[in-house]
Amino acid sequence: MMYLGFVMIGLGVIFAIVGLLQRGKMNKILAAPFKKTGEIASNPQAGDAKGMISCEGAIQTQQPIMAPCSNSQCVYYELKVEKQVEESKMTDRGLQTSRTWKNVSEQKQGSFFQVNDGSGPIGVDARESIDADLKQSYSGAPPGGAGLGILANVITGAIFGGNERIMQYRATERIIPAQGNLFVMGKLAGGQITKSDGMMGKITLSTKGRTGLVGSVKTMMIIFFVLGGLIGVGGIPVAILGDAPKDTSCKPPFTDDVKECTGAMKTAKEEFDWKVTKAGQYAVNFKQPKDAKVNSWPTIVVETEDGFPMNNPFNLGISDQVIKVDVPKGKYKIRIYGVDGSKLEGGFRYIFEIKLVKAGAGKPPQGTKSGDDDDDKPSKKKGGDDDDDKPAKKKKKAADEDDK
């Protein structure tokens, strides 16, 4: 929940920034002088100190552009082509197949045209850096047959390569029609309106008109500010009071008992350092999640620092394995051998656990001297068994006296 709060705060900040950008756009529209097209054409100084100017009028063009999918006459179009790709990946859950849409190509093309409100035309250069509300003129499979159809020659070189299985294509086309009224805002230069200065400079075009565009931008500004405030402020208590997500990943070196932790075996061997401070019998458990379908065939080997095995190294499990091992205090290596996980996407996921089953001295490593050997030697006590024989000797002496 804590991280959810941080996400909410981040989204709130993003929405607030977008709201600020919308407010800045609205202020620019309102600040740019709004004049007749004829006045702008006849007066090179009609703009403000930065040359910004705006006007509104009917579109006039002698050479309209033909939109590639709809064949609509327009002064500007944007074309986006996507492909649906099927991808298959082998995981420990088996063969996983997914379909996603990927971008193939994006094209933008504008033109030079004029707008005229009846007072005279003014030229508009809309060939680059456009900020416009566009009309969707086409959406669906590219026209002209299977695959890319008539778009094949337009985007050659952007679609081939790789081992992806392409299921289908789709094209989305948006335009500014060559007819109707258009609001234009930009920099007056060379007797025409073009994009404003700077790397981020653009020319603003809208079929909504000046009033409609200002109202639309203002509405978006309010929406983003409200969303930013509600989501961002709401995320603060969630971030402060929410619990941090539990990290269950395995983090060796381990000491004594280890609660269930998770990881992924991406090679043919996984290795952990293990320190035992409480001697006794331990159960070492290695298993795969319930949704795993491909078996890792794990083998667990516990070794001393010198490489002596503490358990039968020939144990073998299908997807789960557990061994019990008696160990004294010391440092050990736990090695898990299995199928090479590098051939699977993400490897073999596993759940690992160590439990103390029975406390005790533990079995010493192979090839080492045990302190318990001393227990097998006969003890030397003063008196020893001679003391135990004394009562028997007394009874025998008493019996002999009775016989007399």
Sheet holding 254-255, edge to edge: 254-255, 269-276, 330-337, 299-304
* DSSP letter, residue 195: P
At position 254, the amino acid (one-letter code) is F
Q: Give the residue-averaged pLDDT of 360-376.
A: 52
CA distances to 139, 169, 178, 205, 252 from 135, rounded to whole Å, are 11, 21, 12, 12, 59
* pLDDT for the residue 245: 78
Is the pLDDT at 389 greater than 50? The verdict is no
For 246-383, strand residue ranges (E) read 254-255, 258-265, 269-276, 280-287, 299-304, 321-327, 330-337, 348-359
Whole-angstrom distance, CA of residue 19 vs CA of residue 223: 8
Split at pLDDT 50, 70, 90, the class of 299 is very high
This prediction's pTM: 0.73
Whole-angstrom distance, CA of residue 352 vs CA of residue 288: 9
Query: What number of H helices and E strands is found in the chain?
Result: 4, 20
Phi, psi of 196 (to 5 degrees): -75, 170
At position 79, the amino acid (one-letter code) is L
Of the candidates 131, 133, 318, 323, the residue with the CA atom closest to the CA atom of residue 209: 133
User: What tens digit of pLDDT does each residue of 202-225 get?
Assistant: 999 999 999 999 999 999 999 999
Domain 254-367 of CATH type 2.60.120.380: yes
Is the pLDDT at 399 greater than 50? The verdict is no
Lowest-confidence region among 128-137, 229-238, 354-363? 354-363
Of the candidates 138, 164, 174, the residue with the CA atom closest to the CA atom of residue 83: 164
Q: Give the residue-averaged pLDDT of 352-367.
A: 80
Split at pLDDT 50, 70, 90, the class of 326 is very high
User: Best-predicted range by mean pLDDT among 115-124, 139-148, 198-207?
Assistant: 115-124
Q: Give the residue-averaged pLDDT of 342-363.
A: 90
272 in helix, strand or coil? strand
Is the pLDDT at 66 greater than 60? The verdict is yes
Q: Give the residue-averaged pLDDT of 63-78.
A: 95
Over its C-alpha atoms, the chain yields an Rg (Å, rounded) of: 41
* pLDDT for the residue 363: 66
Q: What is the largest CA-CA distance in the chain?
A: 162
Q: What is the 3-state secondary structure (H, E, C) of 135-158?
A: EEEEEECCCCCCCCHHHCCCCCCC
* pLDDT for the residue 302: 97
CA distances to 94, 112, 147, 172 from 80, rounded to whole Å, are 35, 22, 15, 5
* pLDDT for the residue 156: 55
Spell out the domain ranges in the chain: 35-209, 254-367
* pLDDT for the residue 331: 96
CA distances to 186, 256, 263 from 282, rounded to whole Å, are 77, 9, 21
Task: Count other C-beta atoms under 10 Å from residue 274's C-beta.
Answer: 21
Is the pLDDT at 366 greater than 80? The verdict is no
Element spanning 201, H or E: none
Query: Which parts of 93-208 fold into alpha helices (H)?
Result: none
CA 259 to chain centre: 27
At position 161, the amino acid (one-letter code) is G
Task: Count other C-beta atoms under 10 Å from residue 332's C-beta.
Answer: 21
Whole-angstrom distance, CA of residue 132 vs CA of residue 207: 8
Q: Are 317 and 298 in contact (CB under 8 A)?
A: yes
Say which residue the tokens 């309106």 belong to.
193
User: What tens digit of pLDDT does each residue of 162-197 get?
Assistant: 567 889 999 999 999 999 999 999 999 989 999 998
Contacts of 182 (CB under 8 A, 6+ apart): 56, 57, 58, 59, 115, 176, 205, 206, 207
Is the pLDDT at 401 greater than 80? The verdict is no
17-21: Cβ within 8 A, 24+ apart:
18/224, 18/228, 19/220, 19/221, 19/222, 19/223, 19/224, 19/225, 19/228
Q: How many residues does the chain have?
A: 404
